[in-house]
Structure 1
Amino acid sequence: MAFSDFQLNKPILKAIEEAGYLAPTLVQEKTIPSVLNKKDVIVSAQTGTGKTAAFALPILQQLFNYQDAPKKGKKIKALIVSPTRELASQIQDNFKALGKYTNLRSTVIFGGTSIEPQKDILNKGVDILIATPGRLLDLHKQDLLNLDYIQTLVLDEADLMLDMGFIDDVKKIERLCTKEKQILLFSATIPFKVEQLANSILNEPERIEVATNSSTSKNINQILYYVPKRNKMELCLHLLRNTIKGTIIIFRRTKFGVNKLEETLTKNGYKVDSIHGDKTQNLRQEALNKFKNGYVNILIATDVAARGIDINELDAVINFDLPNVPETYVHRIGRTARAGKTGTAYSLCSADEKNYVKTIQQLIQKDIPVESEHPYPLDPKAKPIIHKSKKTGSKHKKGRKSTASKKKKKRWY
């Protein structure tokens, strides 16, 4: 199939060619016709499958005939809601590239940066707005943006949006838009919460599923290391010294864990930076740029901060902490071995993470090879360490009455 089969306008086809898109991906093939037919859709597809263009192209096509502003200025006709700043910026880059030969104007707004420049752009008027939920509602509250003309609402990475606690914000945003709008919901996985949301706001949607969420690329070499929790840091350093080379993303579960690992690796002379939710947008962007441009070769990240980061030249992924959601493992390791290249995923598993390995292997339907030749092996019989509180209970006896109050007293009744 070719992009010209979708009956897209010539300026859009020219931009597609210049962006280096050769043929539509499976998600684009299945989604674009439905969106052009004004259908609501639920699309289950992972990051890296080309889903941004699957909604960007039909939106640009639909708005093409309305691209020149009326006398009162441009109105927002398409709204894309994205959970993180990085994802929002990336979507904006796609719209810019694909809409470069149109007069359609798009912009991105998110928190963590100055609100003033964003106000200025909105005052001038835009056709397409990409936003994170918090900043969007913030600007709406201040009467700085009007959602009365929305024709298409896109909810991107819906599962992550709900995991981050944005469910009420998303529902509120949907209510602020026109009733007649088309809704496109994209999600890497469709858990019950996403299903519930879809049922409450979409109108007879078409369901599009692209590959199962369990598929891992054949080009990814996966290796598992069993290691006591207390020795994970030493094993990580050992692997970086002797085994793992090139550009590497290391995943940790918490922001505290990210900071601790960054500190240790920096002390040991590694060129490293990190991204997590507590960092300002500028610092996160700076870290990403340093990593993409080769100033640092190791990036440490939490899952939420790393969602949607597009890095093509990635040699390895290290799961310092194993994720408790098996699909997250597939997302993480899918960042390496892109575009036909090969890569390796290293996972460090402590005793309390053994169950996670089971559920991951069930999902990907294969056993991850175990490497036991390393200096910090885990005793196969080792049980997870359960930290108990040292407190043995209150020093006060049970019951709140003092001995004095327990003496028989004459009552007035």
Structure 2
Amino acid sequence: MTAPPAFSRRQFLGLATALAGTAALAACSPGAVAPGARPLEFWHLLSGADGITMSGLIDSANAGQNAYLVRPTVLSWGEPYYTKLAMAAAGGRAPDLSVMHASRVVGYAPGGLLDTWDVQRLAELGVDERTFPAAIWEKGFVGDNLYSVALDAHPFILMYNTEICERAGVLDGDGRLRAVSSPEDFLELARAVAGESEGHGLSYGYLGDGAQMWRLFYTFYTQHGLEIGLPEGGSADMDDDVAVTALTFMQQLLDGEIAARENDYQSAIAEFATGRSGLFLTGVWELRSMQEQDLPLDATIIPTLFGTPSVYADSHAFTLPHQSSPDPQTRDLVYRFVADILKGSFDWAGAGHIPAYLPVTEAPDYADLLPQAHYAEAAEYVRYDPPAWFTGSGSRFQAEFGSAVQNVLLGGDDPSAAIARFRSRLDSQLKTPNPANPEGGTA
């Protein structure tokens, strides 16, 4: 296991300038440490239903043994969290364990902000490449070192109202959305659903939300069997023709009949939740709120329309914020806790996420968990943000994409010109050094 480089004063000051801002810190009640139990400090960014579910997983892990007691601290989602985590690691005040989005890890591994996982020790605890979908396990690596261990995959999916879709004649003999395999087939299906809906056939909220635009775009782009490459200091490796094709199809969906041209995220949620649309493009994290509406609901992986099964996703992943002299016993207990959480992550599926630990999703009980079992295959086809220090959930990268392409969806602007704008912004960003690693190089 390679030790990360020391974090210099220059790097610390550079990071402080680049990541200006503060995070509101809300610590959960630490509780009393049982005799002989060692406290573990755990930071995460999970709130709402996710936060409640995570608290239950932690409580179960704490109750299941007396060697450790995990004390969670919850911080604000997005840049405030990542700023606080980076500054804690750089300043010698890191917690024992943290949750990061897997897509953000590549920007933190260089420069010593994260420690690497001991793959052998994880394997001794039943956590290794055989117990994860390949794409999810491999995402944890930067170079030859494992920097994150995924708890889940949370992909973009297609939810649907079974009553509306049944009236539209788009369900198969098993009562599930019939298979489609081309853009034309999907447009036909969506128009049939629109004919039976009070609002639109499809709810898709994107206005002012770069992340929503990116999630659907990158799903369709990668369905061409391609990914975007972002070489540091170079030019974006992107097939502009394929990018235009993906964006043009999104434009076709937003025709005012299939989906509204002017729909923000909350409006799309409201339309589907009140039964005024039959289809809903969204993330798995909205499942619980939709189930609370008592809708006739099912869900599926986004159909493969361009040849290659692929869906945009990210993962909540466990990381080890850098500690200059970690206590060996504490560090080993962190490994035990992560293994305990993974093995007990069935309830995490209740929040809509797909547990990354295969023994959970392959268990017989998971097949009875609906509609989660109907989109669990998405874990085999996940595609994360292109790896670069400036990409990932909660980053400016997705907002920049939205800024470049929104008028294509809203006002019918030229998709080719929008992709050219996006490429220009990517190339400019690629020439900007990673503030966490101003000396250059990789982990």
TM-score class normalised by the smaller sequence: 0.3 to 0.5
Flag the structure with larger Rg: 1
TM value normalised by structure 1: 0.33
TM value normalised by structure 2: 0.31
RCO comparison, higher one (Cα < 8 Å, 6+): 2
